[in-house]
């Protein structure tokens, strides 16, 4: 009997890289703080410069934790969608799920100007933004899933996802035309994507939503493995297909919706990370893939955020632009090597 690999060395290496990236991300920024000083502040031995302590605990650590939650959550939602659709090019951004979340946020931020005679969005707060984005992503995901049952072709499904993105973009354009200048500016800055604007309260809500999504995914490991082998095989294992699908949809919508609400629409992480993970681990078992994509997504997001904040400079690049620079070549590579993809 062949012994199943445990991948212990792989996971230890990933955790080591994750801690290194976390340390570098906290150390680098517009204000130069050495790694040693950063460690002193974190472990409570810094009794000198109080400004370093204030910067690290109030700005850099929340931003680094946000990067870990956003990267791991988007990577996991991408893995869930690729398994659910049995489509290696599926992802929250590609299939329009992030666009649905953006529409929910746009209705909340800018909708009061257009619908002022009918409804008001005066209760614009963190929880309302998370709910609006999650509902938007749920609705688009359900529509795409309905279409996917009838359309089996991979490229056709991707084109349909792009069309959903175009429709939501058009609705947002109409809202932008009628909204006030300050609301429009607020939405544009949100759309650039940012990891550094979250308070500890917002970070707590994001952490709660991400943890629920992860727990739902872990609970669906058996279903996910069965879905890869087809619906008939899943039925033969006694898996309730409808219940399993809805559980995966809720997990994906919650992850993509809440992350998009707080960090903006961030492209390609959900698409690229699961494939990069499969190249390292060479397995389709979700017991291995789920923790692996969580680690890899967090690492990639920390690297992108470190690059985006331009160490030593006062300028900060939009995180969405950096993730696109990383992710777009991966999509091209996948299309070129389509026959060799592990699925």
The residues spanned by each domain of the chain are 75-340
Cα 57 to Cα 52: distance, rounded to the nearest angstrom: 9
Sign of CA dihedral 325, 327, 331, 332: positive
Average pLDDT of the chain, as a whole number: 83
Check if CATH label 3.40.50.620 holds for domain 75-340: no
Query: Per-residue confidence at 287, pLDDT binned at 50, 70, 90?
Result: very high
For 148-154, what is the mean pLDDT? 70
153-162, 220-229, 233-242, 288-297, range with the lowest pLDDT:
153-162
For 190-214, what is the mean pLDDT? 88
pLDDT for residue 87: 78
pLDDT for residue 121: 45
Nearest to 287 by CA among 214, 215, 212, 225: 225
Q: Which residue has the tokens 């529509």?
A: 143
Q: What is the pLDDT of residues 255-274, one digit of tens each?
A: 988 898 888 888 889 888 99
pLDDT value at 119 more than 50: no
Can you give the three-state secondary structure of 70-103, one letter per residue? HHHHHHHHHHHHHHHHCCCCCCCCCCCHHHHHHH
pLDDT value at 176 more than 50: yes
Cα 251 to Cα 249: distance, rounded to the nearest angstrom: 5
pTM of the model: 0.87
pLDDT value at 118 more than 50: no
- pLDDT over 90 percentage in the chain: 21
pLDDT value at 217 more than 60: yes
For the CA atoms of the chain, what is the radius of gyration? 21
Q: Which residue has the tokens 């698409």?
A: 271
Query: Per-residue confidence at 149, pLDDT binned at 50, 70, 90?
Result: confident
């Amino acid at each position: 009997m062949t012994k199943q690999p445990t991948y212990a060395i792989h996971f230890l290496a990933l955790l080591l890289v994750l801690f290194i990236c976390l340390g570098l991300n906290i150390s680098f920024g517009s204000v130069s703080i050495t790694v040693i000083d950063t460690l002193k502040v974190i472990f409570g031995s810094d009794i000198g410069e109080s400004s370093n302590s204030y910067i690290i605990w109030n700005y850099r650590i929340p931003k680094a934790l946000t990067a870990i939650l956003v990267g791991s959550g988007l990577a996991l939602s991408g893995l869930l969608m690729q398994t659910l659709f049995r489509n290696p090019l599926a992802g929250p951004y590609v299939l329009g799920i992030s666009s649905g979340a953006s529409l929910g946020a746009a209705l909340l931020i800018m909708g009061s100007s257009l619908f002022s005679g009918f409804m008001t969005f005066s209760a614009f707060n963190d929880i309302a933004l998370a709910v609006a984005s999650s509902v938007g992503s749920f609705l688009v995901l359900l529509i795409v899933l309905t279409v996917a049952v009838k359309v089996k072709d991979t490229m056709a499904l991707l084109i349909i996802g792009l069309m959903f993105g175009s429709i939501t973009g058009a609705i947002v354009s109409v809202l932008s035309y009628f909204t006030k200048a300050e609301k429009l500016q607020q939405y544009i800055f949100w759309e650039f994507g940012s990891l550094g604007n979250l308070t500890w309260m917002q970070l707590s809500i994001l952490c709660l939503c991400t943890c629920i999504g992860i727990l739902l995914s872990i609970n669906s490991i058996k279903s996910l493995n069965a879905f890869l082998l087809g619906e008939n095989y899943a039925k033969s294992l006694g898996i309730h297909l409808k219940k399993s699908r809805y559980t995966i949809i809720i997990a994906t919508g919650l992850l993509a919706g809440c992350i998009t609400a707080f960090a903006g629409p961030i492209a390609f992480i959900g698409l690229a990370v699961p494939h990069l993970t499969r190249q390292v681990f060479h397995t389709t078992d979700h017991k291995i893939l789920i923790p692996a994509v969580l680690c890899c997504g967090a690492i990639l997001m920390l690297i992108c955020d470190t690059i985006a904040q331009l160490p030593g400079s006062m300028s900060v690049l939009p995180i969405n632009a950096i993730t696109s620079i990383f992710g777009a070549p991966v999509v091209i590579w996948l299309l070129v090597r389509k026959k060799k993809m592990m699925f």
